[in-house]
Structure 1
């Protein structure tokens, strides 16, 4: 009679989980630690695939192919401990080349022995709780001892670093607990011949280790991984996998309950599993909150609130940075009306009885004060966040006004400006103050990329019947291809003093104004920014 092989199911779940984690890490591996974490997950994936294929083929008595699959999977196990150690050493900034060389050497030797001899795994199977598993060879426990020594040393390095670095204790504490969970679950698989408790479900502990760690990275941006989460496809996939594991555990509990009670109805089983899921869901929420508080010291809501406040503060900082550049240009505009006011005030005691002078004074002074007032309002409107108010404005006028305000910067940095805004009837439906901020951010980036001077070319043209196109080119250092995918991500920057919010805010502003922004760049050649806005 056919029975469920829970080892096969747990191995399959681990395979799927690792496959998705590998896809995530292939896309986001911008530092060495992330790359090594990718290698670690790939080695776990090799083990998962090997155990899945082996346990599946056992259903059909393909023992030779199943044995080969098991051995290939154990080759992945040989490297799991090594990649884990290497990742931890990278994480804590410690270098121990001798230990790493010895670890990689033993993993390679063990893999060769596994594939070519029967010294670690035998050539026939034993039945353990309904699972056919290769018999242990002569040096099986030596292989396990080497694995354990490396894993133990990795934990020792983590714990040592935990006591040395107080700033990262929360992150390291989480990693220590998760690593103990994952390695303990993996260690259970070594003792299959003794029928350890929950042997068939040990792989689920590894799933939990890898997924919870990645989930923590995604949700709380730990260890430097900064990507868009929660709304993204990859996050949804992770949630789906976690939900599948949760449902699997519910089914396991329901099957045990059915064995005790003795009922056989499929509909009743389905109803029981659904009822258990409803009963367990509040408990799951409380456990998640409790785990977050233990690992991170705060609830998810508190962390999300702090992240939002930090984001708002940094966005404000970026606006003020651009506003300070704007203020330099406005200072020159304010000088002119102030000079006029000063001149008239000096003549006032002598000519206050002259009718022509008083008439002229009464007209010019209010006009100059209004001019200063408008300039100040421009600065205030620029620096404070407001929802866009779309109005029909001349885009050439906005471009020219921005360039005039930054003329002093162009002179200081020896920038030659080439402007092509010949058509003065290019009307767009935008918030003028916000679009001006975008131009400031883009031009400031262009100036920063040309510390020794150069040319900036700005042109406006009709893209089509619905859009106006503004093109800004510079002769700066350009952007590396590997960084292009991140330029609109919040907090991504290659500048020592940058916040990484200039282009992110500009992208959001253009989006809010129903426009588009694209960036093309070539290293050591220059960057082209294309902005498309709706015609009024």
Structure 2
């Protein structure tokens, strides 16, 4: 809506250029001034209605700068008059050229002082306001990230229950047979081997959930994007199996290293995988591709194709697809086609990708599936 007002305003302002037409002998009323007035009113309405700029800061700055200009102009004129009279009294010579030279010299000397005064006023009256706005924006963004993380944790609950339940069932079974078969060497060997494995499996799931749920700062370090994708898929293993979804992987290498925040990237893939699973019926296919572009062989080994200066991750499902109307609004905050959807998942996904200096785009057709394409620099 805000962009619409801006575009309409520019169109109305452009109509003001018709004032030159009567000069070519064409009889038309010069509506240009009317369109300019309309543009001013339209822009003012958009600013106040949709808060395109903080009007309080504009008013304060306008008032302070107006006073500053008035004071500086007054001081400048006083200095010019005093200097002119002093020189005229000293040398006894009156000339317009002398007055102009005096004015220019004082202007050149006074301009640095004016800049220092302006910087002082900016720092004294406006820096705190702008900093507080920036801090508030960053705080709200972090809250959105955290809200969406917790929503993901809630959505994963059923899958995680099965991930933990299966190891617990195995442990319970072994414990029940322990009094009877404690002296059995084969049972003891199997017990000593499997129980630690199942406990480690539970710990892994719990740690992954804790890492996902806790608030954290963005920290960039070397990340194996293939490993991040696979560990995220492991969290959804039960959901994939329950729908008999086939996962097809096409990785250029088992190690594709980028600079990024692993937990945030895991949140990106978790969101996209969950969306795909929810959109697909039983027996569907989820294809994941990791490829390099812009031909370089810096990270590729002898058994892989060359990897480039960026990596392209493609996630393709054979689900219900997305309509053209919804496709345009897919990354809009609070837009969701799900009844219980928050509508922030893809918005935050896009923001995370942008923080990693990458881009994300989507292609989809109804009843044919959806493809998300992510490009990240290496």
TM bin (shorter chain): 0.5 to 0.7
**Secondary structure of residue in 2 paired with 1:373:** helix
In the alignment, which residue of structure 1 is the partner of 2:31? 72
In the alignment, which residue of structure 2 is the partner of 1:421? 250
- State the 1:64 CA deviation: 7.1
In the alignment, which residue of structure 2 is the partner of 1:269? 107
In the alignment, which residue of structure 2 is the partner of 1:466? 307
Gaps of 5+ in 1: 1-30, 54-62, 89-173, 177-209, 221-237, 293-298
Is the 8 Å Cα contact of residues 205 and 235 (structure 2) preserved in structure 1? no
Structure 2 CA distance for partners of 1:255 and 1:371, relative to 1, 3 Å = closer
1:306 aligns with 2:136: yes
For residues 155-304 of structure 1, the aligned pairs below 5 Å read 175=48, 214-216=52-54, 257-260=75-78, 261-262=80-81, 263=84, 264=100, 265=102, 266-288=104-126, 299-304=129-134
- State the 1:306 CA deviation: 2.6
Structure 2 CA distance for partners of 1:72 and 1:482, relative to 1, 3 Å = farther
Residue-by-residue CA offset, 1:365-401 (whole Å, 9 max, x unaligned): 23322222122122223334362442557x2x65455
In the alignment, which residue of structure 2 is the partner of 1:12? none
In the alignment, which residue of structure 1 is the partner of 2:94? none
Structure 2 CA distance for partners of 1:288 and 1:379, relative to 1, 3 Å = closer
Aligned to 1:500, which of 344, 353, 372? 344
Is the 8 Å Cα contact of residues 381 and 433 (structure 1) preserved in structure 2? yes
1:527 aligns with 2:356: no
Alpha-carbon distance between aligned partners in 2 of 1:253 and 1:370, rounded to the nearest angstrom: 74
Greater length-normalized contact order (CA 8 Å, ≥ 6 residues apart): 2
- State the 1:456 CA deviation: 3.3
Structure 2 CA distance for partners of 1:365 and 1:81, relative to 1, 3 Å = closer
In the alignment, which residue of structure 2 is the partner of 1:351? 181
In the alignment, which residue of structure 2 is the partner of 1:390? 222
In the alignment, which residue of structure 2 is the partner of 1:94? none
Structure 2 CA distance for partners of 1:364 and 1:477, relative to 1, 3 Å = closer
In the alignment, which residue of structure 2 is the partner of 1:444? 274
> Pairwise CA RMSD of aligned residues?
4.9
Q: TM-score with structure 1 length normalisation? A: 0.48
Structure 2 CA distance for partners of 1:274 and 1:71, relative to 1, 3 Å = farther
Is the 8 Å Cα contact of residues 50 and 70 (structure 1) preserved in structure 2? no
Alpha-carbon distance between aligned partners in 1 of 2:143 and 2:325, rounded to the nearest angstrom: 30
- State the 1:360 CA deviation: 3.9
Gaps of 5+ in 2: 85-99, 296-305
Residue-by-residue CA offset, 1:253-295 (whole Å, 9 max, x unaligned): 6556555543533131122243234234434555547xx9xxx
Alpha-carbon distance between aligned partners in 1 of 2:111 and 2:14, rounded to the nearest angstrom: 30
In the alignment, which residue of structure 1 is the partner of 2:303? none
**Secondary structure of residue in 1 paired with 2:31:** helix
**Secondary structure of residue in 1 paired with 2:371:** strand
In the alignment, which residue of structure 2 is the partner of 1:478? 322
**Secondary structure of residue in 2 paired with 1:427:** coil
Structure 2 CA distance for partners of 1:449 and 1:348, relative to 1, 3 Å = closer
Give the paired residue count. Answer: 332
Structure 2 CA distance for partners of 1:338 and 1:391, relative to 1, 3 Å = same
Alpha-carbon distance between aligned partners in 2 of 1:249 and 1:451, rounded to the nearest angstrom: 68
Alpha-carbon distance between aligned partners in 2 of 1:309 and 1:454, rounded to the nearest angstrom: 40
- State the 1:438 CA deviation: 2.7
